[in-house]
Amino acid sequence: MQSPARRLVLAIAAVALSVTTLAQPAEARTHHRARAPSFLQFTSQPKYAAIVIDAKTGEVLYEQSPDAHRYPASITKIMTMYLAFEQLSTGRLSLNDAMVVSPHAAAMAPSKLGIRQGGTISVGDAMSAIAVKSANDMAVAMAEKMGGSESHFAEMMTAKAKQLGMNNTQFVNASGLPDNRQLSTARDISILSRAVLRDYPQYYSYFSKREFTWKGQTTRNHNHLLGQMPGVDGIKTGFTNASGFNLAASAVRDNRRLIAVVMGGSSTAARDSHVVDLLEAGFTVMRRREAGQQTTVAQNLREPAPVGSVDRPPVEQGDGEQDGVHIVVDGKAPKAAVAKMTAKAAPADQMFCKRVRGRHHKHVTKCVKLAANDAVPGKAQATAAAKTDAAAGGDWQVQLGAYKNSALARQQLATLNTKFARELAASQGRVEHASGNYRVRFAGLSADQAKDACASIKSQGQDCMALRP
């Protein structure tokens, strides 16, 4: 007897297939459709701007509209924290100093810690709440502590921005809550992020915290790449309706550190995926340069269309991160009929669906549900799945990584499934648990398909093993 979750997945797949098939011309139904690289689709968003820099030298490795004015949203708080770090380093501020929450601070919109006016909190706890929870009330309380008033502190922020070379930035508040006068650019945010790393490395760890606990309630960092993408250790997300989804992220590998800033994303998932791609491409460029190859980030961004998603509307201004049901069908968000059906799914569920080539080169839609509380397929399940895949196409697999953490493996499954969709179009991805590792594998391939897929994937800097039956 099928479980409710299984029936839901099958129903979604059926509706997605019918919707996708009806929407395609006849030729597209019989041949795998060529798709433009995702960075081209992502960069077509009107609010989009991005930059990737070498944190050590400041060299720009990639840029798109880097000097166009954008609303920074809660990325604003990087400057609030920078000025706090400055005062901590000079002794004007102490981590143990008590701050009194004013009526103005207490009245801030979420995201917030929720301390009532007259309540107190230490500077150290307030900074953790700002970095992890993106608490608007704590950002204002910090501003009043350091500047006397938020408006005066905003003047201090703008002055510091000019001093750092952020010539296209103006601040009018300390939180990033909506104000059309508060403007910055992707380049300026990268300058600020680099300044934090350069000037106050002793305090940078605030941006690396994965969670913050206050009065028994634990909040996870809105920066989902922490602990998910190897090497990422900061720095800050942001969202308002006007800004779209923003993220300044920094990662280090092999003693190389990169900073990527993406502004104006259409969803949390799309933004995070794009930042991952930019950083991965950046590290590939750095590695290939050392081998004497001449290449660019743009040349390494060869991934297909980004993951579309059905996200619940964010409710928190300044840093409204979304935790909802995510669905993708062939790189596109599904139609309303499919979206409506997902309302019955668990909030933590993620369902990734794609049209793949099955028997006799016919296309079918397969869906994989990735839920936080799902069990990773065991040996028996993996064997049964392999038999299904063999019937559909072949019994070869490719492995694209092995991880100690199941959550990281699932995240990488989704990322790699999207990035190499063209190479893996005839396969079905899954995570297998064996010998203490969580292996990201794609099954259902013929010998030639597996070998050709790995050859193409390896040429793009990703490890790949073709596994015979």
- Look up residue 260 and give its two tokens: 């990527």
- pLDDT, position 190: 98
Strand partners, 404: none
In the sheet that 363-370 helps form, which strands lie side by side, from edge to edge? Answer: 326-329, 350-357, 363-370
- pLDDT, position 394: 77
- Look up residue 425 and give its two tokens: 């179009």
Domains and their CATH numbers in the chain:
4-34+322-467 (3.30.70.1070), 43-300 (3.40.710.10)
Distance separating alpha carbons of residues 425 and 358, to the nearest angstrom: 10
pLDDT tens, position by position, for the chain (469 residues)?
455 444 444 444 443 433 333 333 332 222 222 333 355 556 667 899 999 999 999 999 999 999 999 999 999 999 999 999 999 999 999 999 999 999 999 999 999 999 999 999 999 999 999 999 999 999 999 999 999 999 999 999 999 999 999 999 999 999 999 999 999 999 999 999 999 999 999 999 999 999 999 999 999 999 999 988 999 999 999 999 999 999 999 999 999 999 999 999 988 988 998 999 999 999 999 999 988 888 888 777 754 333 333 333 444 455 544 333 333 333 333 444 344 434 444 443 444 444 444 444 444 444 444 433 333 334 444 444 444 444 445 789 999 988 777 777 787 887 787 788 888 888 888 888 887 788 889 998 898 888 989 988 888 778 889 998 8
Distances in Å between the alpha carbon of 54 and those of 204, 253, 304, 335? 17, 12, 25, 40
345's enclosing H/E stretch is none
- pLDDT, position 408: 75
Coil, strand or helix at 52: strand
With contact defined as beta carbons under 8 Å apart, do 153 and 102 qualify? Answer: no
- pLDDT, position 362: 44
Q: Which pTM value belongs to this model? A: 0.62
Residue carrying structure tokens 């040349």: 299
- pLDDT, position 302: 53
As annotated, the active-site residues are: 74, 77, 134
DSSP type of residue 31: S
- pLDDT, position 112: 95
Exposure string (b/e) for 179-199, b if CB count within 10 Å is 16 or more?
beebbbbbbbbbbbbbbbbee
Contacts of 341 (CB under 8 A, 6+ apart): 8, 11, 12, 15
Residue 128: cis peptide before it, omega within 30 degrees of 0? no
- pLDDT, position 203: 97
Coil, strand or helix at 13: helix
- pLDDT, position 41: 59
CA Rg, the chain, in Å?
23
Distance separating alpha carbons of residues 361 and 393, to the nearest angstrom: 9
DSSP letters of 203-258? TGGGGG--EEEETTEEEE-S-TTTTTSTTEEEEEEEEETTTEEEEEEEEEETTEEE
Strand partners, 364: 356
